[in-house]
Structure 1
Amino acid sequence: MTWDEAGLRHFLTQQLTWKPSEFDDSLELAFIEVPLDYAHPSGERVELALSRIRAVDPRRRRGVLLSLNGGPGGDGGLGRLLPTRLAGTPPHEVYDLIGFDPRGTGASTRVEGEASPTTVPFDSRPPDSAFTAIAADMWERDQGCVRAGGNLRRHTTTANSARDMNVIRILLGEPAISFVGWAYGTLLGAVYGAMFGAHLDRNVLDSSVHPDWDWRQQFASQALAVRENVDLWAEWVGQRDRFFGLGDDAARVLESVEEVAAALASMGESASLRTAFDGVVGTLSAARGRWQELGALTGELGKATGDADAERARGLLAGQSRWRPGTAAGGLRDAVLEAVTCETEWPADLEVYYRDMRDFRDRYPYGFGVMRAQPWVAAFGTCTPVEPRPAITRGDYPTGLVVQADGDPLDHCPGAVAMAERLGHPLILVTDSGAHEIYRLGGNPQVDALVDAYLVDGELPPARVECPGEARPSIPAD
């Protein structure tokens, strides 16, 4: 699809009207229109919500810094609030900070789905007998997207969001934009560079999507990343058996974990306690500073299950994250995730998913690994995007940065390594860390300083720089 400036004249000549924000005094807000379908710009329109915080020093101003974080499509990201996280930093001195809710999200025209209930109890290790019901629940979720998403669903793509960014650039009167993208924002930034490289200036990609993986591969890689963190934690605990008493090597520690999981599952509460424990193991193993907490919790749960004390086990798990899928029907919900992830291929044969679910259930039980293998809405073929996701290539734009934690459980580290190699960008690697979204969001001063120096002064670090992550607990080894 080509960029037709003549056909887009109406959209490229809009006047931006900035107004004070009602929810944050530091922000100015504006709305613009973009075409639903860039191939037919005279058709339906989509509204985009923008935000701005002006540069502190107009004399040193070097343009605008657009930013985006969150999951596919911007799902769960800060959107228009993101500039507030960069306010008061060195880049704020020289850039207008620009945020936006991507198409389908927030205060922009939303892509929605009907909230559909789940009929299968949430289980991190579901039996084979539950697989068809899990698929049926996902079918209902997909049908809710079909009914409520309308034509916007198939037009909510990464390529269209990149085109939307270019409209934003033109309306801001800038020959080029600088960009910081975290998580899904890394993909959007890389696609923008491939499509509009002449208009991209300094760029930072933090917690990167793999340039070659489809969305199914990206999801599956999360299970591997979680397991790597769990294995590192188990190794560390095994080296401190006198303190934790869970076993003197990684294998024995994991045996203790599995004994607790099995005992929780037998406590007569379906699999809810085991599922909660599996989730906690996946979550806390990513946070190096909480490794002692996870070891202590495992030990206490072992005592509770040994005494058949279900109430004690429930109490120990009650303070931990207990995320679970929604069970209520009725109403509408955001469905940008279900739209954008349809832009790559998914198997239509449910048996492929069932095979992988068996594998992931056994190999990656922690952090809900089986969810990364189960059927997704895109398996049913009801949403055919208007175009495939563009290939990631290095456009004609300045060298940028890729930032990544080696244990990121949501965007697996090999994705960032591949992205840095593909684009020829230096890689800032945060070592021994399960952090996700690091620059200015993750509290790593060394990373912040390196990225600030690049964005403000154009200083590029060496091709690979390692920065330490959060320290492990200071418990001496045996």
Structure 2
Amino acid sequence: MRSRVRLKASRAIAALTGLLLVGSPAAAAVPTAKMSYYQQKAVWAICDPGEPPEGMPEDVWKMIWKDLECADVVVPMDYRNPGAGNLTIAISRLKASDPARRQGVLLLNPGGPGGNGLLMPSFFRNDAIAKPFDLIGFDPRGVGRSTELSCEEPSSPPLVETRPTDDQFGRFAADALAQERACEQAGGGLRKFISTANTARDMDVIRAAIGEKKINYLGFSYGTYLGAAYGSLFPSKLNRSVLDSSMHPDWFYYEASKQQAVAARENVDAWAGWLAQRDSRYHFGKTAAEVRATLDAVRARLAKKPVPWPDAPPGYPDIDGSLFDMILGGASPSRPMWHELALLIGAVRDASQTTKNALTTSEGKAFRALYGVIKETYNGVFPAVTCEADWPKDLKVYEARMRIFRKKYPYGPGAMAAAPTNCTFRSFTPPEKLVDLKRAGYPTGLVVQAEFDPATQYDGGPAMAAKLNNNLISIKDEGSHGIYGGNACATKKIDDYLIKGILPGSRTVCPGAPRPDVPVDGARSGRTLTDTGPIDQRVAKIIKAGKLGRFR
């Protein structure tokens, strides 16, 4: 089925007139936008949940939408040429549960780029921030219930290979070119206007439409860059801001992609060191190097003969070498998961040696739960926004990097993190440069970063804090992506800042989630970790507790 850009006629508003003249840095950001966009008022109504996602009970789906109000806001497709047409932005609101102490609004963004944000207020309804703030969610331009941008599906699925041979490099380039053509076919007229700067401008129109002079902001992952961009373009309109699991202010976007494989290697190395200290229990090797050698041997066997996967997701009947690498890189960041991961990888090790040791249904379900964690949200917005920055055009650059990554950083995305993407063959010219990030005119904010963040590598946090002169909270020995609500120490400091205005200090450290309580070899302790219940239930419990991060 073909997917196309849909300008939702049912929500369209007649052409808006009048010039926008704002006496602030925002005026320079949108010099020709029209005053009427800022004069519209959001008309709130109870949200229509629509049909629940496949497999979700209708009553659960309706409960998620409980008390949420929705509205539409109209924005120009092109802020520099408003007459080119309008887009619709779907927004949501969960009113402050303590209206007597209301402090305004807190705008939320989950990241992506391309993440749906309409339901975000519901995710935080039981957190402290829901008491004094109206929580505001929105589907960014191109996403979900906003004017949608999609890509046509290529005729053949792309190659998935974490350690490709030189002969396979050409396939990655061909896949990337096919994807760019498919995206251009579906939404070529809109794609160049799906950008961080324009989404930030949409946020300011949202601010005006809901009647607020300023917003507070909590953004995750790519949402940290979006929040920093908003503050740079509209400094007088931003109050308190928290950038949770921050992008690096200088890594757009090829370097950011490569750093995910670097982070995966760091996490697998940490897990390998932990296993080596407990070889009598897990039998992977007595040193980290021996553990990695064992893992690589398993991977080599799986590449030749995959292990059948009970209860596998559609399209993945077996665990092959690349999926093995992806699971290692995707699950090893969670310290509380290390024991279960060791047992599951041990089961794959044994099954790869003989068919007599097939994976059990419970193990298959556990792997499926882990696979659900490492999957990425992908739509037409991601391959548009990531093209707002220039990518190398010379395929030899990618080939050289992929040779390095398949050897040094094979886990998680592996060499795919260094492969060409559709942006290598970008078919449009971005109408403007990336936002020049700075903080001048709005209060000191917070950057929060886990030491072993698998999606936005740790170095991005200190770099963003330095760029904006913000406070930094580092989470020691933590592999979560999305800290707020999952780490008690950091959550309290974030709440104190957002609600009370109390900053924690320029550099603060919180402890991460504890590692499993499994004694090292030779320890005199009589304690031992006892497994209770099937492994798939234990894995699901860890994931449900948010131990892998709130937005991972």
Give 1:291's aligned residue: 338
Cα RMSD for the two superposed structures: 2.3
Structure 1 residues 299 and 61, CA, compared in 2 at 3 Å: closer, same or farther?
closer
Give 1:97's aligned residue: 135
Structure 1 residues 445 and 217, CA, compared in 2 at 3 Å: closer, same or farther?
same
Work out the CA distance in 2 between the residues paired with 1:285 and 1:119: 27
Give 1:173's aligned residue: 211
Structure 1 residues 315 and 124, CA, compared in 2 at 3 Å: closer, same or farther?
farther
Choose the corresponding residue for 1:465, options 508, 515, 518.
508
Give 1:112's aligned residue: 150
Q: Tell whether 2:68 aligns with 1:27.
A: yes
Give 1:329's aligned residue: none
**Counterpart amino acid of residue 46 in structure 1:** L
Structure 1 residues 4 and 154, CA, compared in 2 at 3 Å: closer, same or farther?
closer
User: Aligned to 2:192, what secondary structure does the other structure show?
Assistant: helix
Identical-residue share of aligned pairs (%) = 41
Structure 1 residues 271 and 94, CA, compared in 2 at 3 Å: closer, same or farther?
closer
Number of aligned residues: 467
User: Aligned to 2:467, what secondary structure does the other structure show?
Assistant: helix
Work out the CA distance in 1 between the residues paired with 2:457 and 2:373: 23
Give 2:425's aligned residue: 380
Deviation at 1:92, TM superposition (A): 2.0
CA-to-aligned-CA distance 1:437-470 (integer Å, 9 cap, x gap): 1113xx2222221111111110110222222222
CA-to-aligned-CA distance 1:238-288 (integer Å, 9 cap, x gap): 111222221111111111111111122222789952122112211221111
Greater RCO, CA 8 A, separation 6+: 1
**Counterpart amino acid of residue 70 in structure 1:** G
**Counterpart amino acid of residue 110 in structure 2:** N
CA-to-aligned-CA distance 1:416-454 (integer Å, 9 cap, x gap): 1101111121111111111011113xx222222111111
Matches within 5 A, 1:211-230: 211-230=249-268
Choose the corresponding residue for 1:416, options 457, 461, 467.
461
Give 2:384's aligned residue: 339
Choose the corresponding residue for 1:125, options 146, 149, 163.
163
Work out the CA distance in 1 between the residues paired with 2:201 and 2:159: 41
TM-score by length of 1: 0.92
Deviation at 1:18, TM superposition (A): 0.6
TM-score by length of 2: 0.80
* Residues 161, 416 of structure 2: 8 Å contact kept: no
Q: Tell whether 2:45 aligns with 1:16.
A: no
Q: Tell whether 2:324 aligns with 1:281.
A: no
CA-to-aligned-CA distance 1:123-171 (integer Å, 9 cap, x gap): 2222221211221122111101101112210001101111111111112
Choose the corresponding residue for 1:142, options 146, 155, 180.
180
Structure 2: give runs of 5+ residues left out of the alignment: 1-26, 50-64, 308-316, 522-552
Q: Tell whether 2:468 aligns with 1:427.
A: no
**Counterpart amino acid of residue 352 in structure 2:** T
Structure 1 residues 251 and 7, CA, compared in 2 at 3 Å: closer, same or farther?
closer
User: Aligned to 1:295, what secondary structure does the other structure show?
Assistant: helix
CA-to-aligned-CA distance 1:178-221 (integer Å, 9 cap, x gap): 00000111001001111111110000000001011110011111
Choose the corresponding residue for 2:280, options 242, 246, 250.
242
Work out the CA distance in 2 between the residues paired with 1:164 and 1:157: 11
User: Aligned to 1:296, what secondary structure does the other structure show?
Assistant: helix
User: Aligned to 2:108, what secondary structure does the other structure show?
Assistant: strand
**Counterpart amino acid of residue 247 in structure 2:** V
* Residues 60, 94 of structure 1: 8 Å contact kept: yes
* Residues 119, 133 of structure 1: 8 Å contact kept: no
**Counterpart amino acid of residue 151 in structure 1:** G
Choose the corresponding residue for 1:48, options 68, 89, 113.
89
Work out the CA distance in 2 between the residues paired with 1:268 and 1:448: 42
Q: Tell whether 2:306 aligns with 1:306.
A: no
Deviation at 1:405, TM superposition (A): 0.8
User: Aligned to 1:155, what secondary structure does the other structure show?
Assistant: coil
* Residues 265, 271 of structure 1: 8 Å contact kept: no
**Counterpart amino acid of residue 460 in structure 1:** L
Choose the corresponding residue for 2:79, options 38, 57, 63.
38
Work out the CA distance in 1 between the residues paired with 2:393 and 2:318: 29
Structure 1 residues 362 and 324, CA, compared in 2 at 3 Å: closer, same or farther?
farther
Work out the CA distance in 2 between the residues paired with 1:222 and 1:28: 36
Deviation at 1:362, TM superposition (A): 1.2
Work out the CA distance in 2 between the residues paired with 1:33 and 1:268: 51
* Residues 122, 325 of structure 1: 8 Å contact kept: no
**Counterpart amino acid of residue 321 in structure 2:** R
* Residues 336, 513 of structure 2: 8 Å contact kept: yes
**Counterpart amino acid of residue 92 in structure 1:** A
Work out the CA distance in 2 between the residues paired with 1:315 and 1:471: 25
Q: Tell whether 2:380 aligns with 1:354.
A: no
**Counterpart amino acid of residue 10 in structure 1:** S
Work out the CA distance in 2 between the residues paired with 1:123 and 1:238: 28
Work out the CA distance in 2 between the residues paired with 1:351 and 1:152: 31
Deviation at 1:316, TM superposition (A): 5.3
**Counterpart amino acid of residue 52 in structure 1:** R
Deviation at 1:319, TM superposition (A): 4.0
* Residues 123, 271 of structure 1: 8 Å contact kept: no
Choose the corresponding residue for 2:482, options 437, 440, 444.
437
Which is further off, 453-462 or 272-281?
Answer: 272-281
User: Aligned to 2:218, what secondary structure does the other structure show?
Assistant: strand
Choose the corresponding residue for 2:112, options 71, 81, 88.
71
Deviation at 1:3, TM superposition (A): 4.3
Deviation at 1:175, TM superposition (A): 1.5
**Counterpart amino acid of residue 173 in structure 1:** G
**Counterpart amino acid of residue 420 in structure 1:** A
Work out the CA distance in 2 between the residues paired with 1:355 and 1:318: 38
Structure 1 residues 145 and 121, CA, compared in 2 at 3 Å: closer, same or farther?
closer
**Counterpart amino acid of residue 512 in structure 2:** G
Work out the CA distance in 1 between the residues paired with 2:322 and 2:358: 16
Structure 1 residues 299 and 88, CA, compared in 2 at 3 Å: closer, same or farther?
closer
Structure 1 residues 3 and 276, CA, compared in 2 at 3 Å: closer, same or farther?
closer
